[in-house]
Amino acid sequence: MAALTPISRKPMSLVLPTIAAAGGFLGIFVGASNGSTLMGLVIGAVVVAALGLFFIGVLKNEQLSKWISIVLVAVAGFVLGGIPGFILGAIFGWFFHWFTYWLYEGRYRARLLPYLTPGQVLWHYSFLVICGAIFVFLITPILVVMPLSFNAQDFFTFTPEMLRFDPEGYSLKHYRDFFTNNEWQRSFKNSLLIAPIATVISVSLGTLAAIGLSQSHVPGRRAIMAILISPMIVPLIISATGMFFFYSDIGNWLEGTLGLPKTFVGYVKVVLAHAVLGIPFVIITVTATLVGFDRSLTRAAANMGANPVTTFFRVQMPLILPGVISGGLFAFITSFDEVVVVLFIGSASQKTLPWQMFTGLREQISPTILAVATILVVISIALLTTVELLRRRSERLRGMSPS
Amino acid sequence: MSDTTQSGPVLAADGTPLKRSLNRALRLQKMRALALIAPLLLFVLLTFIIPIGQMLFRSVENDIVATTLPRTVVALQSWDAASGVAPDEAVYTALAADLHDAAKAKTHTRVGSRLNYETPGISSLFRKAGRKAKKWDVEADGPFKEQFIKIAKGWGDPDVWRTIQTYSPKYTNGYFLNAADMQKGADGAEIRPESERIYITLFKRTLIMSLIITGSCIVLAYPVAWILANLPAAKANLLMILVLLPFWTSLLVRTSAWKVMLQQQGVINDVLVWLGLVADDARLVMINNQLGTIIAMTHILLPFMILPMYSVMQTIQPTYLRAAKSMGATNWTAFWRVYFPLSVPGIGAGSILVFILSIGYYITPELVGGTKGVFISNRIAFHISSSLNWGLAAALGSILLAVVLILYWAYDKIVGIDNVKLG
């Protein structure tokens, strides 16, 4: 965004107390870890204020003072806390320099409306900080897992070696364990077997039904919709309880009367249950795509002699395909991530990856879980990217500008 | 028009009245739509609605006493439970005959454990008596009253007989009474003694904690939704990734991440100790209690709050706020009187969604909740897999289902199920 407000330099009476307060705040933590909170506060405030005064009043060179600030604080950090301290120090050195000039040159005003009062400006930036903190809360747990999965020890936390960035502290052994351990491999294969089949069932049935639901005259549309969405709304534990009773009867019947092998019946049960759970997602995404579908296209196709099946595959399907695929991805992730139902109706030979993680977390805590978690995060990033790209494509196809 | 000579109904090209022809077309269209929906509807009905219905049925079903002890049930009908004395010889003879058959079919222990849920100790009475009854000759070995009391004193206890009598009908509200911490006493339903009440406490805890989680989700989601809705599209899309990534990440990954973060040797405690804010021997206990459940579940459900709020806030024109301010409203007045009322539908939609999801949560409370932070769903799972009291599990599930359906109905009224959006 271009600058909205012409900026002007601010008096030192504003800059110095503010950066001193920031320095003092950081000093509290440094002081606390080195013995005296109060000393830390005072020293932090004085040092930062002095540096600011020196840069602005004496040096008057922004580039040079940036490097001085970074190096000075980084060295101080190294003395106090080794390599992690060095890195943190460099970051804080850069930050204080930027913060000082940001305030001094009045850059904080540049992108705001000119008529805002100082109080509104302060509120604007505090609000940004609050939002930033919430985003940190959202994303930190996922980011923390990744480096921990390279831990050389069997700990769930950062070891001193890892914090020193010592290569000894890192290893791929948890990944090796995941790829060689039979239990993990079998559950991974089970997940890769069950989820796609369940997805195919829910996508094919769900797409047909969504097309039916999007017709203009459907008797009892609301009731049907309510029934089809219900697997998403009913708590999983209740679905699982109901399915537990039902599928044990069905399973007995399939095994006893039809004489099907036990393992096969087990897979059928889990696949059917997961297919039902994935259906609401397919229905929701596909009906949302169909809302923007131009009905005259099918009439035009029919007009030119295409039968309904050809129309569906050659005209309608290519246009709603993005919605169908993202519905399918939702269904896939639902099944791939599902643990309650499979815990209730599956037997040991249908153990899926989430089930294995669940028992791993509850009983024998092994850091292999973190390696699996990292792999799953990478998979979900890939899925998220696909869905996002599909959404944009779908909006482009429907003639909306992608937002 | 003047050249229209015919006076009858308007005809279609093939000569049939237009109205009928249109009706037929409409009917055809309806049939085609239904035919497309039918396979899925059948599938969902068969594999989802019927199992749920079966669970509801199981919560009142109680035919095990009547089918295993048919003669005893008939003989007991004339006994007056209020009399305070054990029934007479005829009942014991009937029981001996029933037990003789049941022990041969090996079903007597199942009746025993069913009745044991109601009056602890009955299970062992049935086991002991069943062992003897198997060898009895019902015609010759009478009278049985003395023999039963000799096997176990409990058989002379009117309370035991009252339990058998109470649970002899084919349907019972006993499971629901149990689920509400009540029991069938000598004169109708009564509240259990305070020390035995667990389900009411659990239901209360589930509701209160779900409310807290919903509340903290609202507080955290509102600023985020606001900033997403008010930033330029390119930046908002970038930030949206930070919301959608947790949404797409496996539930177990996020739960294990919180386990890593919150435990006493975990990341948060380590950072606090390193910063000197917490002494090494006084690390915070943030896991295996209610706090752990609340933190982890707030994080897990936050995207479900942000997304509906965001889609509502996107539709609020920023010019409204500017108009309010230009007419002299302060920042706060402009927000509270103009923007906030417009964003209430988003808050409502998100809250109901989060609340519905959180009262039925099982995995996260199980893993980070310890004993104090578990929900009613954990108790249901316990009854299914450990105590095998399936009737009670079904009753607890039915109550939970009723709560969720009421909320679902409210959600449908407020937001409409067609308007649920994902991603």
DSSP string, B394-407: HHHHHHHHHHHHHH
The span from the CA of B51 to the CA of A238, in Å, is 10
Q: What are phi and psi of B189, to 5 degrees?
A: -70, 140
CB–CB contact B52 A238 (8 Å): yes
* The pLDDT of residue B69: 84
* The pLDDT of residue B187: 67
Per-residue pLDDT of B40-99, as tens digits, reads 999 999 999 999 998 899 888 888 888 888 888 888 888 877 777 778 888 888 888 888
* The pLDDT of residue B2: 47
Chain B residues close to A144, C-beta within 8 Å? 257, 260-261, 267
Q: How far is CA B225 from CA A230, B219, B336, B356, B418, in A?
A: 27, 11, 16, 21, 22
The span from the CA of B379 to the CA of B375, in Å, is 7
Q: Which of B36, B224, B394 sits opposite A134 (nearest CB)?
A: B224
- Secondary structure (3-state) at B188: strand
CB–CB contact B253 A239 (8 Å): no
Question: Left (φ > 0), alpha (ψ -120 to 50) or beta: where does A158 sit?
Answer: beta
On whether the CB atoms of residues A266 and A369 are closer than 8 A, the answer is no
Chain A interface disruption, residue of B248, B409, B412, most A CBs within 10 A: B248
- Secondary structure (3-state) at B287: coil
- Secondary structure (3-state) at B171: strand
The enclosing H or E element of A12 equals: helix A12-33
Q: Which residues contact B97 (CB under 8 A, 6 or more apart)?
A: B71, B138
Nearest to B174 by CA among B115, B236, B110, B103: B115
What single-letter DSSP state applies at residue B286? -
Angle, in degrees to the nearest 10, between helices A118-148 and B251-262: 100
Per-residue pLDDT of A41-64, as tens digits, reads 888 888 888 888 888 888 777 788
On whether the CB atoms of residues A357 and B255 are closer than 8 A, the answer is no
The span from the CA of B366 to the CA of B373, in Å, is 8
Per-residue pLDDT of A223-243, as tens digits, reads 888 889 889 888 899 999 899
Report domain extents, chain A: 12-115, 182-397
Q: Which residues pair with A170 in a beta bridge?
A: A151
CB–CB contact B299 A137 (8 Å): yes
Q: Which residues pair with B185 in a beta bridge?
A: B188
The full DSSP string for B84-111 is -S---HHHHHHHHHHHHHHHHHT-HHHH
Q: What is the mean pLDDT of chain A?
A: 85
On whether the CB atoms of residues B94 and B165 are closer than 8 A, the answer is no
- Residue ranges of domains in chain B, CATH in brackets: 64-170 (no CATH), 199-419 (1.10.3720.10)
On whether the CB atoms of residues B192 and B279 are closer than 8 A, the answer is no
Burial of A347 from C-beta contacts in 10 A (0-12 / 13-18 / 19+): middle
* The pLDDT of residue B287: 83
* The pLDDT of residue A130: 95
The tokens for B248 are 């797409």
Neighbour tally for B372: CB within 10 Å? 12
Q: Which of B243, B420, B423 sits opposite A391 (nearest CB)?
A: B423
Chain A interface disruption, residue of B46, B57, B61, B252, most A CBs within 10 A: B252
pTM for the predicted model, two decimal places: 0.84
Once rounded to an integer, what is the mean pLDDT over residues A4-11?
A: 76
Q: How far is CA B265 from CA A81, B260, B261, B281, B284, in A?
A: 20, 8, 9, 11, 10
The span from the CA of A369 to the CA of A374, in Å, is 9
Q: Which CATH architecture has domain A182-397?
A: Orthogonal Bundle (1.10)
CB–CB contact A387 B255 (8 Å): no
The enclosing H or E element of B183 equals: strand B182-185
Chain A residues close to B411, C-beta within 8 Å? 233
The span from the CA of B338 to the CA of B363, in Å, is 40
Nearest to B178 by CA among B155, B203, B157, B154: B203
Nearest to B164 by CA among B50, B228, B68, B100: B68
Please identify which residue in the block is written with the tokens 């022809």. B21
The span from the CA of A293 to the CA of A319, in Å, is 8
Per-residue pLDDT of A148-201, as tens digits, reads 888 887 777 777 777 777 778 888 888 998 899 898 999 999 999 999 999 999
**B1: pLDDT confidence band, cut at 50, 70 and 90?**
very low
On whether the CB atoms of residues A384 and B241 are closer than 8 A, the answer is yes
- Secondary structure (3-state) at A170: strand
